[in-house]
Structure 1
């Protein structure tokens, strides 16, 4: 039911799909199966988020171990890779990246100004990465760092959601890997840029 809901939310919007339709598409005879298992729409949304975060924890653990061996735990690109790249390994049952569409909508609903706070259950390796990244961005106020992290995530999710379009690219056009690398470099620049103070405007 979680994967079916993820795909339907990605296509129809988190508030645009009925719980009854999700239950039906998931093969549930009980039209109130979502409410029975998850309590509410919000409960289902958080369950999808937590399910995917838990799937990515082993990948992030390995990436953190490698970064520590290479003495790169203060490198912004390395840390952002650990946050973002595990999402490449989350295709849905049809081989698509519907999670990208779901997470984009999920982030739009986030209202927290605390760095790395997107709701859901705490996940150790993701939270450790956020702690290391927050230390790297210590020159930024927390709400600015959080806003930039969300903005950078949207940039990454935009290229991930277009993954399939690169399969039919013309000869000489950039590959998905090239586009992805360039996009993450943009994310690094976006997240790590110095803060322009009010006194700097107009100069």
Structure 2
């Protein structure tokens, strides 16, 4: 019994240390990028006397990065799927606004204040590695949202729909990252970014982006159509 209790205590200690390393690494990666932080810096900032703590708990820096990517991706996937399941059970979603809410609200509710910054920087510098780190089973909700949006944007050619989705993903990532970065700075107040009115305005502009009529010359529409209807890149966890 004593040995069992000691083993459980050791497991709890290891779990706590690993979680502390993840939290510290996420903050440092968000501030400096993955390439700008060493495993020694992470261990020291996490209060680990052993500079090999990252390797001990995760195996490698890359494995730690992959774990961080998946933590956020899984959280977003669960929340978005749950929201979609609820709306679909009631015959929805019935509006673009409802889908936009599902894309945005779970990101705002993430418990860590650095994930969006981290994933945006990581996507810019190591996009292939980021996408490879995400198990496809945990990246379906975003696609479900796009499927619903397509049905509500049927008046637009597929090529234009896809462009809107690319614009939307870039807009989501940029604005939510800027918001998170500002709110992580506790040295001063951020009345705009911390305001629910600003969140509401952001949601409205996303809806406007998707609902805006297209006024392109026929020649341009043909040019877009000739380039195919596929979205250029698989979206990341945020968008």
TM-score exceeds 0.5: yes
The answer to whether the 8 Å contact 1:4/1:25 transfers is yes
Largest Rg, 1 or 2: 2
Structure with greater contact order relative to length (CA < 8 Å, sep ≥ 6): 2
SS in 2 for 1:162: helix
What per-residue deviation string (whole Å, max 9, x for no partner) do you get for residues 98-134 of structure 1? 223212212323647xxxx68512345x513423414
2:123 corresponds to which of 107, 111, 130: 107
1:178 corresponds to which of 179, 197, 201: 197
CA distance in 1, matches of 2:164, 2:60: 31
1:189 aligns with 2:203: no
Question: Once superposed, which parts of structure 1, at least 4 consecutive aligned residues long, lie more than 4 Å away?
Answer: 164-167, 191-198
The answer to whether the 8 Å contact 2:76/2:107 transfers is yes
Report the aligned-residue RMSD. 3.6
Q: Once the 2 structures are TM-superposed, how far is the Cα of residue 9 of structure 1 from its aligned partner?
A: 1.0
How do residues 52-71 of structure 1 correspond to structure 2 at under 5 angstroms?
Answer: 52-71=72-91
Aligned to 1:133: 146
Structure 1 unpaired stretches of 5+: none
Q: Once the 2 structures are TM-superposed, how far is the Cα of residue 195 of structure 1 from its aligned partner?
A: 8.5
Q: Once the 2 structures are TM-superposed, how far is the Cα of residue 182 of structure 1 from its aligned partner?
A: 1.0
What per-residue deviation string (whole Å, max 9, x for no partner) do you get for residues 137-160 of structure 1? 474448635532431222233233
| TM-score of the aligned structures, taking structure 1 as reference length | 0.71
| TM-score of the aligned structures, taking structure 2 as reference length | 0.62
SS in 2 for 1:180: helix
How many residue pairs get aligned? The number is 190
TM-aligned CA distance change 1:38 to 1:53, over 3 Å: same
Aligned to 2:12: none
TM-aligned CA distance change 1:134 to 1:196, over 3 Å: farther
Q: Once the 2 structures are TM-superposed, how far is the Cα of residue 78 of structure 1 from its aligned partner?
A: 2.0
CA distance in 2, matches of 1:9, 1:26: 13
Q: Once the 2 structures are TM-superposed, how far is the Cα of residue 197 of structure 1 from its aligned partner?
A: 6.7
Structure 2 unpaired stretches of 5+: 1-20, 222-239
1:122 aligns with 2:122: no
TM-aligned CA distance change 1:143 to 1:200, over 3 Å: closer
Deviates more, 1:150-159 or 1:11-20: 150-159
